[in-house]
Structure 1
C-alpha cells in the first residue's frame, strides 16, 4: 500500500500588490467635443442646404396700398371729393394729381414690379401741367422690403397727360419703360400744335430719358394753303428786317417788328411720325423704327423711315436731328 501524500499549502507572497491604474478621463472629453462639433457641422450644412433650396423671398406687391403710400408721400393728402391727391408746388401753385397708367409685372420665379404714371392738373386755371413716373420693386436684400425709383414732378406742359397719352412697352427682356406723348400748343386753328414722344425707363437708382422725338404736328390757318405760305414768307422778311434793323430805327419800326415776331403765322400742316418697337430679344433694347407720313405746308411729306439704334453705354437712343423734339414755334430742344 502506497504512502498517502499530504497536500502542499499555497505559497503566499509577502510583496504588496501593485497600485490600481485609474482610467484617463480627458480622452473621453475630447471624444465628446469632437462628436458635438460633428453634430453642429451637420446641422449647419443642412440649414445652408435648406436655405439655398428655398431661394430668395419673392415679393408680391399690393398695388392699391403701394400706390396710395407713394402718392401721399410725394404729393400730399388724398381728396375724396376731387378724387385725387392735392399737391402744392414750390411756387405755391395747387395741383390735382391722379394716376393715369399702372401695371404690375408678375414674372415666374421673380418678385413683382409695379409701374405707374401720374398727371398733375393745375387748379389755378393756368394751362400748365406736370407728370410723374414711378417704379416700385424689391429692394434686393432678400426680404420683403420695397424701393421706389421715381421722378414725381417732371416738366411742365400746356396739356396734362391722359391715359391715352401713355404707352407701356417691353423694351428688352429685363427692361420695361414708357413712351409718353407730350403736347405743345392747344388748338390747331389758333396755334401750331406739336406732339413729341418721350421714352423713359428705370436705370439704376433713377428714371432715365432714353429718347425724345417727334410724333405729330398740326396747324389750320383757316385759308388756302398757298395764301398761308405767302403770308408766312412775308412774315419771315419782316422778322429779318427787324433783326437786322439799323441803330437809328424809329420807335414805331422797332415796336412793329417786335409785334410781328410775337405773332408767327401758321401754315397748313398735318404730319405724323409713328414708331414701332423691335421684338424683345436679349438684355438690351432693340431699335425703334420711326415712319413719317402726312403733309406739311400744303404739300405731301416724302415717305421716310428711320431706325433709332440704342447705345448701351450711354443708355440712350440715337435720334437724328430731323426727328428731334420741336415745340409749337418750331424750336428744337
Structure 2
C-alpha cells in the first residue's frame, strides 16, 4: 500500500500567523458601554422616584378655599365674600389681582391681592396679600403665607392700584397704592406705594414711599401766606407755659389739627431694576409736578435694598408724611 506523505515544510519557513482579536475587543467595549448606559438610566429613575413631585396649583380652588377660611362665605348676590371684622363691621371682599408662577423644575406659586370695602357707614377699607406654595414636605400639600387685613386706605384698592413686580430671579413683590384723603378741595390727598413680599413664613414690608400728593387751595400764593401765618400761631401755642389757661391750650390743639391747604399736584414715579440675580436690585424714583405754587425740584433717587434687613432704604424726603 502506498503511504501518504505530508508535504515537507522548509526549515526556513516563518511561523504561522495568530488570528487577530480586534473584533472581539470591539464587542467587549460595546457591551461595557451598554451596561453603563443601562446603569445610568436606572440611577436617574431611582433618583427621580426619591425626589418630591412638583406641585401644580388649581387657582380657582385654592383661592376659594383661602378666601372662605379668612373672610367667610361667598355671596352670589353681592359677588364677593362677606367678612365681619372684630368691631362687627361688615365688608365685601373681592380678589383684585392674581398670578400663578410656573417655573421649570419647580412647584407652582400662587399670588393674589384682596380688597375689602365697608358695607357700613364708616367708609373704612382694607386689603390683603396672599402667597400659596408647596409645603415642601414631599407631597401635594400647600401652605399659605398671608397678611389678610391691612387697614388705612381712604378708598378701596382696585386692580389698577396694584402692581406685581419681579425683584429677583425667585422673588416677587406687590406694590399697592394706598390713599389718605378723598377730596383735594377739602383736604390733602396723598397716595403712597406700599411694597410687600413673602419672606420666610411672613409677609415683609419692603418699602413705603410717596406716589402722589394733591390739594386745591384756590389762590395758591395767598394759600402760602395763610400757611406761614398758621405756622407762627402754632409755634406761639407750643411755647405756652405749663400753667397756661386751659382755653388757650385747647385753642392751640384745635389750631394744630387744622393745617391750611397749599396748592399741590406732585407725582413720584418709580421703576424696578432688571432682574439679574438672586438679590433684589435698586428702585429708582423720579419727582415731577408742582408743589406750593412752584415747580417741584426735578430729582431722581436710587433706593438700594438691604438684604440683611430685607428692606429698601427709603430716604426721609420720600417717606410718607
Tell me the residue number matched to 1:11.
none
Quote how far apart the aligned CAs of 1:259 are.
3.0
Residue of structure 1 aligned with 2:174, choices 154, 161, 178: 178
CA gap 1:106/1:253 in 2 versus in 1, 3 angstroms:
same
- What aligned pairs does 1:263-274 form with structure 2 within 5 A after superposition? 263-274=258-269
Give the aligned partner of residue 239 of structure 1: 234
Specify whether residues 190 and 60 from structure 1 end up closer, same or farther in structure 2 by C-alpha distance, changes over 3 A only. same
In the alignment, the residues of structure 1 paired with residue 311 and residue 166 of structure 2 have an alpha-carbon distance, to the nearest angstrom, of 15
Structure-to-structure mapping, 1:277-288, within 5 angstroms: 277-288=272-283
Could you say what the CA RMSD is over the residues aligned between the two structures, in angstroms? 1.8
Shift of 1:227: 0.3
State how far apart, in whole Å, the 1-side matches of 2:42 and 2:137 are: 19
Q: Are 2:100 and 1:104 aligned?
A: yes
Among residues 82, 85, 93, which one is paired with 1:89 in the alignment?
A: 85
1:259 maps to which residue? 254
| Cα distance in 2 for residues equivalent to 1:149 and 1:46 | 39
Matched, 1:215 2:201: no
Q: How many residues align?
A: 281
Report matched runs for 1:128-207 at 5 Å: 128-207=124-203
- What is the match of residue 122 of structure 2? 126
Q: TM-score, normalised by structure 1?
A: 0.80
SS in 2 for 1:157: coil
Q: Is the 8 A contact 2:152 2:178 kept in 1?
A: no
CA distance in 1, matches of 2:42, 2:67: 41
Aligned to 1:321: 316
Q: 2-side partners of 1:46 and 1:296: how far apart?
A: 69
Give 1:10's aligned residue.
Answer: none
SS at match of 2:184: coil
- 1:8 matched residue in structure 2: none
Residues in 2 aligned to 1:249 and 1:112: alpha-carbon distance in whole angstroms: 65
1:160 offset after TM fit, Å? 1.7
Aligned to 1:69: 65
Give the secondary structure class of the aligned counterpart of 1:263.
Answer: coil
Q: Displacement, 1:157?
A: 2.1
Structure index of larger Rg? 1
Distance 1:318 1:254 in 2: 39
Structure 2: distance between partners of 1:257 and 1:309: 41
Shift of 1:50: 2.0
Distance in structure 2 (CA, Å) of the matches to 1:64 and 1:125: 32
- The Cα shift of 1:89 comes to 1.2
Greater shift, 293-302 or 152-161, is seen at 152-161
TM-superposed deviation, 1:250: 4.8
Match of 1:329 in 2: none
Instruction: Give ranges in structure 1 of 5+ residues lacking alignment.
Output: 1-44, 327-333
Change in Cα spacing, 1:253 to 1:53, as seen in structure 2 (3 Å) is closer
Unaligned 5+ residue runs, structure 2? 1-39
Q: Which residue is equivalent to 1:52?
A: 47
Q: Which residue does 1:80 correspond to in 2? A: 76
